[in-house]
């Protein structure tokens, strides 16, 4: 490429650049247009000057091409202010400083002497407390109760007559009817086991048809009289004794009524007094007099005394009487027994 073509190419590129950047109507762009016109003029001037420029003939010995320098000073081309380019600032990478490695001083560790661990004490397992099992005591049957009571019932014989009685204490005191031993000097008592004892009279209460006799011994089976014992009509009762001077028997019935009446032996007495009696339909026969009347629990509730056999020449069945017993009814007898024992 010749110098001319080079110059034309450079100027054309500059001109095109200015044309592209001056397509705006801003004031700054207008100044650029003026500069462009000046540049065009310069190019025309340079073109005319180049026409008169002659290229020297090269020397035959020289292979290098000599490019003459133009002697004419061209008009200064206005310098275009380039758009500043933002050059990124390079952040210097810090050079890691070498940290000196500190060699630790080895301090000897004092190992404590091992502490002897005490041998654990074996705690005995507590033995569970056994809860006692409640054993239900079976309720005794009527037969069992009667079997227990029969040792307290005795047979009383006075020669021409007989009756029954009930032991009230282990020392041999026997409660019976007064009419059983009335005016009888010899009183023989036969226990349930067959033993025979001679009895002595301790006290009598003819108004109630009661008497107390005593036999030897310190361990007799016996029944006790209970205070506040409630007897109701309809309660089952049992009459125990030795009817007709024979063997031990049991008859049963109910309480038909609780009534006041005069004992049979006092029906014709001038000073007769009524007392509380249990009326029962349990069969009573000669020889049951003086024997116990017990309830279904085995408690002593009365002393069998009499029965009604006829009324206005009519046969009567199922009406017997037993004196209702409590400590109040027997209080006079107890006092008399004490007096008799003191005088002997």
CA distance 15 to 40: 8
User: Could you confirm whether 332 is annotated as catalytic?
Assistant: no
Instruction: Please tell me which residue in 162, 256, 289, 306 is annotated as part of the active site.
Output: 289
User: Under the phi-then-psi rule, with left for phi > 0, alpha for psi from -120 to 50, and beta for the rest, what region is 159?
Assistant: left
- Strand intervals (E) in the chain: 153-157, 162-167, 173-176, 187-190, 196-205, 210-214, 236-241, 249-261, 275-280, 292-295, 300-307, 310-311, 314-315, 320-324
Two tokens at 185? 């000097």
Task: Calculate helix-pair angle for 3-21, 27-51, nearest 10 degrees.
Answer: 170
Which residue shows structure tokens 């700054």?
28
Two tokens at 79? 């310098």
Instruction: Please tell me which residue in 164, 207, 209, 220 is annotated as part of the active site.
Output: 209
Two tokens at 147? 């079997």
φ, ψ (nearest 5 deg) of residue 187: -120, 120
User: Could you confirm whether 310 is annotated as catalytic?
Assistant: no
CA distance 36 to 38: 5
CA distance 11 to 47: 11
Instruction: Please tell me which residue in 152, 164, 179, 222 is annotated as part of the active site.
Output: 179
Two tokens at 18? 């200015």
Buried b (16+ CB within 10 A) or exposed e, 184-195: eeebbbbbbeee
User: Could you confirm whether 179 is annotated as catalytic?
Assistant: yes
Residues 6+ apart with CB under 8 A from 180: 156, 158, 161, 162, 163, 164, 165, 211, 289, 290
Stated length of the chain = 344
CA distance 309 to 177: 19
Two tokens at 293? 């009347």
* Enzyme catalytic residues: 179, 209, 289
């Amino acid at each position: 490429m010749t110098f001319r073509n080079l110059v034309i190419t450079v100027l054309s590129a500059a001109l095109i650049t200015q044309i592209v950047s001056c397509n705006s109507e801003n004031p700054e762009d207008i100044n650029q247009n003026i500069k462009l016109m000046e540049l065009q003029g310069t190019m025309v001037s340079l073109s005319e000057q180049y026409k008169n420029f002659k290229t020297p003939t090269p020397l035959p010995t020289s292979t290098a091409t000599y490019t003459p320098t133009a002697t004419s000073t061209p008009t200064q081309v206005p310098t275009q202010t380039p758009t500043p380019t933002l050059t990124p600032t390079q952040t210097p990478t810090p050079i890691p400083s070498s940290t000196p490695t500190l060699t630790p001083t080895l301090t000897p560790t004092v190992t404590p002497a091992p502490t002897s661990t005490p041998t654990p004490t074996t705690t005995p397992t507590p033995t569970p407390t056994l809860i006692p099992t409640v054993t239900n005591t079976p309720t005794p049957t009527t037969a069992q109760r009667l079997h227990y009571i029969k040792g307290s019932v005795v047979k009383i014989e006075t020669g021409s007559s007989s009756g029954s009685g009930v032991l009230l204490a282990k020392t041999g005191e026997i409660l019976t009817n007064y009419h059983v031993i009335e005016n009888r000097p010899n009183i023989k008592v036969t226990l349930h086991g067959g033993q025979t004892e001679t009895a002595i009279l301790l006290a009598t209460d003819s108004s109630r048809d009661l008497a107390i006799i005593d036999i030897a011994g310190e361990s007799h089976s016996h029944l006790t009289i209970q205070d506040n014992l409630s007897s109701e009509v309809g309660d089952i009762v049992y009459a125990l004794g030795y009817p007709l001077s024979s063997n031990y028997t049991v008859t049963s019935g109910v309480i038909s009524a609780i009534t006041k009446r005069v004992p049979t032996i006092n029906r014709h007495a001038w000073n007769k007094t009524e007392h509380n009696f249990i009326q029962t339909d349990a069969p009573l026969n000669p020889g049951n007099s003086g024997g116990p009347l017990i309830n279904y629990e085995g408690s002593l509730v009365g002393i069998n005394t009499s029965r009604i056999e006829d009324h206005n020449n009519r046969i009567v069945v199922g009406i017997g009487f037993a004196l209702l017993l409590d400590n109040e009814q027997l209080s006079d007898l107890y006092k008399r027994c004490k007096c008799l024992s003191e005088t002997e």
